[in-house]
Amino acid sequence: MTAIPSPRGACCSVAARLLRTLRSGSALPSELLAALGVTNDALLHLTTHLESLGFDISRHPMLGYTLMEEPQCLTPEAVLSHIEGDWVPEVMALSTTTSTNTEAAERGLLEASGPLAIFAEHQTAGRGRLGRKWEAKAGEGLLVSILLRPNSPQATWTRITTLTALAVSEAIESVTGVYAGIKWPNDILVDSHKVAGILAETGTSPTRGAFLVVGIGLNVNQTDFPPELASKAAALRQILGGKVVNRAALAAKIIDRLGFWIERMEQGFELALKAVTLRSTVLGRQLTLHSGTMSATGTAEALDENGGLLLRLADGELRAFSAGEVSLRGA
Ligand code: ADP
């Protein structure tokens, strides 16, 4: 396992700032030194570092530095360089791991304060709810888990699944122009196909107390799926007719939107609920909800104050569910 940790900063690491500067056009070394506040040696070191990650940077005596090409692999530098908001988690990128949720939880059990976003190119044991397997070929999807230690009461932490679903669907739309719906509680759908799943898990560290890990598996650049998934899963690339999607830009947009909503987790949650309601693929529909051995059939009427589903049963009772699996009638 190779980890590429990235320095944390008010805006982002210097390498990320260099990338961001070069993305807006060629720059002379003197301009870069002034913009980044680094020495000549440091600039050389940063450029060499980025080149070792696969960035192609040309250095011309007259034109200065030009970013010619960016690699497909996901690096903290690339993700951080696309972040626009003030909510900047620490970012790590792993080439392979069992599961990014497990990685993040291990750090939650130790001293990591979060927010910490752990990306992986490949998971050997990626999972969804109830231990179901999450399939993603190495380097094609976006696999990330974010460790959080929310200040708000733990009873409201279920809101974070809702906020993450909203952030992912907004990011998909912003980066690709494709509309994404939310199938309560944790699936993102495009044209009835599942493009992303979300898995939130909690834990308690003996020294730092409770933490939450929210994991996202997003199908980005896959061109095919195993036969059992082919009819129900889709990747953004397939939806876009083969166009490759920049995973670092998409990851950063998810972080930007998640940060925006997490900062409104208490005061702005009503606004988030309205946005989720508009994107919901289940509200207003007849469905059966399964939870453990229990199942209930009714009409999905609304979301409650923590993002739970309010189901109007046949006898008129309105029952709230904080979790469960939804099957839509006739869907
Ligand atoms: P759900 O909440 O819909 O049950 P999970 O979030 O638990 O789903 O994710 C696991 C399930 O998602 C698996 O049972 C499988 O059917 C499906 N799945 C696995 N990998 C993918 C993928 N890459 N894209 C879409 N669906 C997937």
Report the percentage of the chain scoring pLDDT > 90: 91
pLDDT, the chain, mean: 93
The pLDDT confidence band at residue 49, using thresholds 50, 70 and 90, is: very high
CATH class of the domain comprising 286-328: mainly beta
Instruction: Give the distance (Å) from ligand 1 centre to CA of residue 324.
Output: 14
Residue 5 is predicted with a pLDDT of: 39
3-state DSSP call for residue 59? strand
Q: Is 229 in the pocket of ligand 1 (CB under 6 A)?
A: yes
Cβ of 21 below 6 Å from ligand 1: no
User: Is it the case that residue 8 has pLDDT exceeding 80?
Assistant: no
Q: What is the DSSP string of 267-307?
A: TTHHHHHHHHHHHBSSTTSEEEEEETTEEEEEEEEEE-TTS
> Exposure pattern of 159-193 as b/e (b: 16+ CB <10 Å)?
bbbbbbbbbbbbbbbebbebebbbbbbbbbbbeeb
pLDDT of residue 11: 33
164 vs 103: CA distance, rounded Å:
19
Q: Give the nearest ligand 1 atom to 186 CA.
A: 2
Model pLDDT, residue 129: 86
Alpha carbon 76 to its chain's center: 14
304 has a pLDDT exceeding 80: yes
Selection from 250, 331, 275 nearest residue 162 by Cα: 275
**Alpha helices, DSSP H, located in the chain:** 14-23, 29-36, 40-52, 76-82, 100-109, 159-176, 227-230, 236-239, 247-262, 269-279
Pick the closest to residue 68 from 83, 59, 82, 58 (CA basis). 58
All CATH 3.30.930.10 domain ranges of the chain, comma separated, are 76-279
Q: Write down the pLDDT at residue 213.
A: 98
Determine which residue's CA is closest to atom 25 belonging to ligand 1: 233
Average pLDDT over residues 214-231: 97
- What is the number of the ligand 1 atom nearest to the C-alpha of 199? 6
Any atom of ligand 1 within 6 Å of the Cβ of 187: yes
Closest CA to 289 of 277, 303, 300: 300
Local confidence band at 329 (pLDDT 50, 70, 90 cut-offs): low
The closest of 161, 188, 177 to 321, measured between CA atoms, is 161
Q: What is the mean pLDDT of residues 212-228?
A: 97
Q: Is there an atom of ligand 1 within 6 Å of 233 CB?
A: yes
Choice from 124, 127, 135 to test ligand 1 binding pocket (greatest atom count within 8 A of CB): 135
- Run of H or E residues at 205: strand 193-205
Per-residue pLDDT tens over the stretch 234-245: 999 999 999 999
Q: How far apart are CA 83 and CA 216, in angstroms?
A: 18
Instruction: Note if the pTM is more than 0.85.
Output: yes
Specify the ligand 1 atom closest to the Cα of 222: 23
Q: Is the pLDDT of residue 16 over 90?
A: yes
The lowest-confidence range among 95-99, 125-129, 163-167 is: 125-129
| pLDDT average, residue stretch 197-218 | 96
Whether the pLDDT of residue 330 is over 70: the answer is no
Instruction: Give 147's strand partners.
Output: 116, 213
Q: What is the pLDDT of residue 150?
A: 95
Whether ligand 1 lies within 6 angstroms of the CB of 55 is answered as no
Q: What's the whole-number mean pLDDT along residues 22-44? A: 95
Question: Encoding tokens for residue 119?
Answer: 């990306």
**Residue 2 pLDDT exceeds 60:** no
The three-state DSSP-derived secondary structure of 309-325 is: EEEEECCCCEEEECCCE
Q: Which of 11 and 108 is assigned the larger pLDDT?
A: 108
Percentage of residues of the chain with pLDDT beyond 70: 95
> What are the start and end residues of each CATH 1.10.10.10 domain in the chain?
2-69
Least confident of 8-22, 29-43, 312-326: 8-22
Whether the CB-CB separation of 107 and 125 falls below 8 Å is answered with no
C-beta separation of 190 from 181 below 8 A: yes
Mean pLDDT of 147-158: 94
How much is the pLDDT for 220? Answer: 98
Fold of the domain spanning 76-279: BirA Bifunctional Protein; domain 2 (3.30.930)
The b-or-e profile of 70-97 (16+ CB within 10 A means b, else e) is beeebbbbbbbbbbeeeebbbbbbbbeb
Question: What is the per-residue pLDDT for 331?
Answer: 39
Q: What is the CATH number of domain 2-69?
A: 1.10.10.10
Q: Which residues, in sequence order, are CB contacts of 27 under 8 Å at separation 6+?
A: 21, 35, 64, 65
Spacing, Cα 120 to ligand 1 middle (Å): 18
How confident is residue 271, by pLDDT bands cut at 50, 70 and 90? very high
CA 121 to chain centre: 14
**Angle, vertex CA 116, rays to CA 42 and CA 271, nearest 5:** 120
